[in-house]
């Protein structure tokens, strides 16, 4: 082969290999779960008491350790077990592996107002502004002594640019989370999927799990007459990814169908806007409108497939419309300009 012909082939081949590597690397990054130790399997110490979430590598509460850690490595001691599947909070197999965490989402009458427990972790890489992220986790209501502890709605996920300290409820219970349950989750046998998607508006570095809504906005269910009036949930398989298939089960491709069927117009608007749902799967729809600072401005429950929303009393600016459908959350940006 002539020398000039060899160079003509050699240079494009290098570029081709580099391009292929870039494509493969991009696909790996896109499909990556950004949550470290997402199923709590990796640990440095077996749990033997409450408030030991720090034993699950990568997880903490960045303050007093409130959340609990359960792992099959712990001895199954009757009445004082932090093992899996049997433990002090109840009986539940892990959704995946042999470990999970647990936390209180409601306590009344509380030792302090809006008492909550949280799980927090620093993401593997920060979220990028403008990118759409898919989020999911598995939760199961605890059944201590085979009776429901109690159950709530508003179990969700909040992303922050700084670590949250659970012991300061006034800074945590701000009535906003990026993903949360609208309905009360009472299932103690199966794992319930909590999932949704959102577009990052900040370079979020931390994921936080719990109930970020006040007692007055949290619905509590206590069928067994538990005098302690607490709600406690196991948490497993936490996922954040740019790829919907990484975090969503095949059945949850329904998420995209639901989101594509949401129409908000006019936007920008002056005094009102319409929300229309072009999908046959709509059930139990509710919506909330937040200011850009995360302050709840309006909430509407049990809305119809077509809803006219009056915003004539709102100030000019950007607002976030949070729509809840089938335990999923969807976000739309609304611009109001009178």
**61-83 pLDDT, tens per residue?**
766 557 999 999 998 887 779 99
Average the pLDDT over 187-202 and give the result.
91
> What confidence category does residue 20 fall into, taking pLDDT thresholds of 50, 70 and 90?
very low
DSSP one-letter code for 301:
-
Of 30-34, 37-41, 88-92, which gets the smallest average pLDDT?
A: 30-34
Distance CA 303, CA 274 (A): 12
pLDDT cut 70: percent of the chain above it = 75
Mean pLDDT of 227-232: 78
Per-residue pLDDT reduced to its tens digit, 149-179: 789 999 999 999 988 765 454 456 788 899 9
Question: Which of 73-82, 118-127, 195-204 is predicted least confidently?
Answer: 73-82
User: Residue 285 pLDDT more than 90?
Assistant: no
286, 182 contact by CB (below 8 A): yes
Average pLDDT, stretch 16-22? 41
Residue 208: CB atoms within 10 Å: 23
Determine the 3-state secondary structure of 203 from DSSP. coil
49-52 contacts at long range (C-beta below 8 A, 24 or more positions apart) = 49/82, 50/82, 50/88, 52/82
**Among the ranges given (4-13, 47-56, 77-86, 198-207), the one the predictor scored with the smallest mean pLDDT:** 4-13
Structure tokens, 191: 């794992």
The closest of 326, 120, 155 to 232, measured between CA atoms, is 155
Pairing state between β 192-199 and 328-336? parallel
Q: What 3-state class would DSSP assign to 239?
A: strand
DSSP annotation of 261 reads T
The CA-based diameter of the chain, rounded to the nearest angstrom, is: 89
For the chain, what is the mean pLDDT?
A: 80
Share of the chain above pLDDT 90, in %: 37
Could you give the CA distance from residue 19 to residue 61 in angstroms, rounded to a whole number?
42
What one-character-per-residue DSSP string does 6-36 give? HHHHHHHHHHHHHHHHHHHHHHHHHH---ST
- pLDDT band per the 50, 70, 90 thresholds, residue 333: confident
């Amino acid at each position: 082969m002539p020398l000039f012909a060899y160079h003509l082939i050699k240079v494009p081949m290098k570029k081709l290999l580099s391009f292929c590597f870039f494509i493969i690397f991009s696909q790996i990054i896109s499909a990556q779960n950004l949550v470290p130790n997402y199923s709590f399997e990796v640990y440095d110490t077996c749990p033997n008491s409450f408030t030991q979430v720090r034993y699950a590598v990568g997880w903490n509460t960045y303050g007093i350790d409130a959340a609990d850690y359960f792992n099959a490595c712990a001895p199954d001691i009757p009445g004082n077990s932090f093992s899996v599947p049997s433990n002090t909070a109840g009986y539940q197999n892990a959704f995946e592996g042999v470990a999970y965490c647990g936390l209180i989402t409601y306590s009344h009458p509380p030792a302090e107002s809006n008492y909550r427990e949280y799980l927090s972790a620093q993401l593997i890489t920060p979220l990028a502004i403008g990118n759409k992220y898919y989020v999911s986790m598995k939760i199961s209501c605890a059944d201590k002594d085979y009776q429901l502890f109690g159950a709530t709605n508003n179990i969700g996920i909040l992303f922050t640019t700084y670590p949250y300290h659970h012991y300061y409820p006034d800074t945590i219970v701000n009535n906003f989370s990026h993903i949360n349950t609208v309905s009360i989750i009472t299932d103690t046998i199966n794992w319930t999927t909590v999932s949704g998607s959102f577009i990052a508006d900040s370079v979020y570095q931390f994921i936080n799990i719990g109930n970020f809504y006040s007692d007055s906005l949290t619905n509590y269910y206590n069928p067994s007459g538990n005098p302690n009036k607490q709600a406690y949930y196991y948490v497993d398989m936490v996922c954040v990814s740019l790829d919907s298939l990484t975090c969503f089960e095949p059945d949850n491709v329904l998420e995209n169908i639901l989101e594509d069927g949401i129409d908000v117009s006019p936007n920008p608007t002056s005094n009102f806007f319409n929300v229309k749902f072009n999908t046959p799967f709509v059930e139990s729809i509710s919506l909330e409108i937040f200011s850009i600072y995360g302050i709840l401005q309006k909430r509407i429950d049990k809305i119809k497939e077509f809803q006219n929303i009056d915003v004539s009393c709102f100030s000019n600016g950007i607002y976030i419309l949070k729509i809840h459908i089938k335990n999923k959350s969807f976000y739309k940006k609304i611009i109001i300009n009178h």
